[in-house]
A and B are shown apart, each in its own frame.
Chain A
Amino acid sequence: MLHYMGRRLLQLIPVLLGMTFIVFMLIRAIPGNPAQVILGQQATKEAVEALNASLGLDKPWYTQYFSYLTGIFQGDLGVSLRTKLPVSEEIFPYLAATAELAFFAMIIAIVIGVNAGIISAWFQNSWFDYTAMIIALIGVSVPVFWLGLMEQWTFSSKLGWLPTSGREDVRNPITAITHFYLLDTLIQGRFDQFIEVIKRLILPGVALATIPMAIIARITRSSMLEVMRSDYVRTARAKGQKMFIVVYKHALKNAVIPVLTVIGLQTGLLLGGAILTETIFSWPGIGRYIYDAIGFRDYPVIQSGILIVAFIFIMINLIVDLLYTVVDPRIKYK
């Protein structure tokens, strides 16, 4: 197991190196000069050149790439051209905001998706099965950003149940400790703020959860249907075991592997897809952070932001692979 993990981590090295290279080259290809953007259109040619030199942008690309690469290994992700703050410091609150939202969304997606899939398989061809699968089909087809807008229209504008956007109430700001607001408010014993944070998570959380929820429900259903036909399930039922136990204990255990794969994949995709949800709900997350940086030609932020998201994406997939052995001890990695 340790051996396998070590090999998987080693295999990541060329992929990660390749990613740094692709991102580096891609960012360099974005038209526009960052020094010009920082100084504005009125800046003199000399001023632009001086700033270019001080940012190291006048050096050849391979020198820039090499110094970027050595920087990464020393934990230096560059300094934002816009805010003049180190990206490694600045990025954390944005990451936390997205992570909290993605976590919340994934919980909704898993709890509802897995259970809907199980019940649909249990009562195959019932009205519940049909309704759930039709909703799931619509769920994978709905544009997330449109769903977010419709939610805002219904639940905030019309009904006034939930706040339209933002992560906190600006009149009642949250003191950040970990930048995970659910945790921060609990640590400080501010339950009023905790409720506020939950309220603000619901609409973007549901929007973000829709697609993974639908996919999880469909995979769970088909995986369960396959397992439910197997002999040991029939045996369990024949000996008079309660159906609930048969479904949730016996069958689910063997049906969970494909579900786990999809959950891992979807969690990763959530990070990339969050950019739309974050735009609609003014969520100060990593997607928004990178998107805004593109407008400002803020190379270090775009570079490191994309790289970090991709790195997390890879790690989640690795963790899922390793989880297989926990769920199914028959799987052994060598």
Chain B
Amino acid sequence: MMTGAIDIKKEAAPVQERAVGPWLEGWRSFKKSKVSLVGAGIVIFFILLAVVGPFIAPQGINEQDLAKRLLAPSGEHWFGTDDFGRDIFSRIIHGARISLWVGFFSVILSVIVGSFLGIVAGYYGRWIDTIISRIFDIMLAFPSMLLAIAVVSVLGPSLQNALIAIAIINVPNFGRLIRSKVLSVKEEEYIVAAKAIGMRDSRILFSHILPNSITPIIVQGTLAIATAIIEAAALGFLGLGAQAPAPEWGKMLADARKFLLNAPWTMIFPGIAIMLTVLGFNLMGDGLRDALDPKMKS
């Protein structure tokens, strides 16, 4: 008995070592690329900022001090103050929460809607596929920013509606991705087998097809967060996103335009904040693509 058990262990051990899951393997190759690690570092930094920001910011979002209007950066106000005497450094820290929130949730929303439509189109095919695919074609035929502006003008300008507009314009990208994945997986033998033993469609979709689509969604999603953050800032800048007095970075830039000449710091720092966050997600997305999905390498 004893020897038998040991034997099994001996045999099982090397197998376990070889069978490194795709995630661990992905992490190993992700870790190798310094650039992706820098990206992940930036992303984690801004996530932390969004979480603990309100507790560490030297001032509140709307703490005004009219005696201290448009002060240049100094020891007291690292990034200077704006035209209401508000501390720009504090506002940028608070703004991280808004930008990340829009970035994450708009992408999650488009992934959910896109996956649903993509799965339905790819799995059921025929006329449903034709209709959904044509709608995707039509949506992708519009320049995305223009479509986002049109959607926000219907819903009314607010941060939440900007989030919805950004989610809508990204739906076809994820929809197409999932659809093509479903089409390629659908013909695999194990799916045919699952069907043959009478597995329900919903079960096949959720336990076989969806897990197969996870990696491209993660890669595409990370890069989409970067774009979504820029688009949210752009809508805020045009006055169609976050409204005053929210410390949204794009809105801060729009308000700072008047002071371009005499108080450039009101403009420089929010811009750098946007750029760094977006850069972080782009670097991380590139790294994830190379690590998780070598076929997608550009």
Chain A contacts to B: CB under 8 angstroms:
14-15, 18-19, 22-23, 26-27, 29-31, 137-138, 140-146, 149-150, 152-153, 157, 218-219, 222, 268-269, 271-273, 275-276, 279, 287, 290-291, 294, 302, 306, 309-310, 313-314
Please give, as numbers and ranges, the residues of chain B lying within 8 Å of A294 by CB-CB distance.
Answer: 149-150, 153
B238 touches A143 (CB 8 A): no
Interface check B93, CB cutoff 8 A? no
| Contacting residues, chain B, for A142 (C-beta < 8 A) | 275, 278
Query: Which A residue sits closest to B257, measured CB to CB?
Result: A149
In chain B between 277 and 298, which residues have their CB closer than 8 angstroms to a CB of chain A? 278-279, 282-283, 297-298
Is B268 engaged at the interface, CB distance under 8 Å to the other chain? yes
New contact pairs (20) apart from A140-B282, A143-B230, CB-CB < 8 Å: A18-B138, A19-B141, A19-B142, A22-B139, A141-B282, A143-B250, A145-B234, A146-B267, A146-B274, A149-B257, A149-B271, A152-B260, A157-B260, A222-B298, A268-B143, A269-B143, A269-B144, A276-B238, A306-B142, A310-B141
The answer to whether B135 has its CB under 8 Å from any CB of chain A is: yes
Selected from A29, A31, A218, A313, the residue in CB contact (under 8 A) with B298 is A218
Indicate if the CB atoms of B271 and A271 lie closer than 8 Å: no
CA distance A291 to B142 in the complex (A): 15
Contact (Cβ within 8 A) B154 A157:
no
- C-alpha gap A141/B149 in the complex (Å): 21
- B111-145 contact mask (Cβ, 8 Å, vs A): 1 or 0: 00000000000000000000000110111011111
- Contact between chains at A15 and B134 (CB < 8 Å): yes
Interface of B is mostly: helix
Tell yes or no: B58 within 8 A of A by CB. no
C-alpha gap A271/B141 in the complex (Å) = 12
Q: Does B197 contact A (CB under 8 A)?
A: no
10 A-B pairs closest in CB distance: A272-B143, A146-B271, A141-B279, A18-B138, A141-B278, A272-B145, A29-B154, A272-B146, A294-B153, A310-B142
Known A143-B230, A146-B271, A150-B268: A22·B138 in contact at CB below 8 Å = yes
Chain B interface size, under 10 / 10 to 19 / 20 to 34 / 35 or more: 35 or more
Assembled-state Cα–Cα distance A321/B153 (Å): 34
Among B134, B149, B278, the one with the most A-chain Cβ atoms within 10 Å of its Cβ is B149
B238: shortest Cβ distance to chain A, in Å? 7
Are the CB atoms of B141 and A302 closer together than 8 Å? no
Q: Which residue of B lies closest to A28 (CB)?
A: B154
The answer to whether A149 and B142 touch (CB under 8 A), given A15-B134, A26-B151, A141-B226, is no
Bound Cα distance A272, B146 (Å): 6
Report A-chain residues with C-beta under 8 Å of the C-beta of B271. 143, 146, 149-150
Complex Cα–Cα for A80 and B298 (A): 45
Return A113 CB to nearest CB of chain B, in Å: 15
Cβ of B219 within 8 Å of any chain A Cβ, yes or no, is no
Given A143-B271, A149-B257, A276-B238, residue A15 in contact with residue B137 (CB < 8 A): yes
Determine if A138 and B275 form an interchain contact, defined as CB atoms under 8 angstroms apart: yes
List of A residues within 8 angstroms of B270 by Cβ: 146
CA distance A138 to B275 in the complex (A): 8
**In the complex, what distance in Å separates the CA atom of A153 from the CA atom of B259?**
10
Residues of A within 8 A of B234 (CB): 143-145, 276
Look across to chain A and name the residue whose beta carbon is closest to the beta carbon of B282.
A141
Cβ of B138 and Cβ of A137 under 8 Å apart?
no
Tell me whether A313 and B141 are in contact (CB under 8 A): yes
Report whether A275 and B154 are in contact in the complex, using a CB–CB cutoff of 8 Å: no
* B267 closest partner in A (C-beta): A149
Are B233 and A314 touching (Cβ within 8 A)?
Answer: no
Q: Which of B144, B234, B250, B282 has the most chain A CB within a 10 Å cutoff?
A: B234
Measured between C-beta atoms, what is the minimum distance from A237 to chain B in Å?
Answer: 25
- Known pairs A15-B137, A291-B149; A279 contacts B238 (CB<8 A): yes
Q: Give Cα A275–Cα B239 distance, bound, in whole angstroms.
A: 13
Most-contacted residue by chain B among A27, A137, A218 (CB, 10 A): A137
* Cα distance, A272 to B238, chains bound together (Å): 14
A29-B154, A143-B230 as given contacts; A14 in contact with B134, CB under 8 Å: yes
- List the A residue with the shortest CB-CB distance to B280: A141
Using known A-B contacts A15-B134, A143-B271, A219-B298, determine if residue A273 contacts B264 with beta carbons closer than 8 Å: no
Instruction: Check B237 against A145 for contact (C-beta < 8 Å).
Output: yes
Residues of A within 8 A of B193 (CB): none
Q: How far, in whole Å, are A219 and B298 apart by their CA atoms in the complex?
A: 7
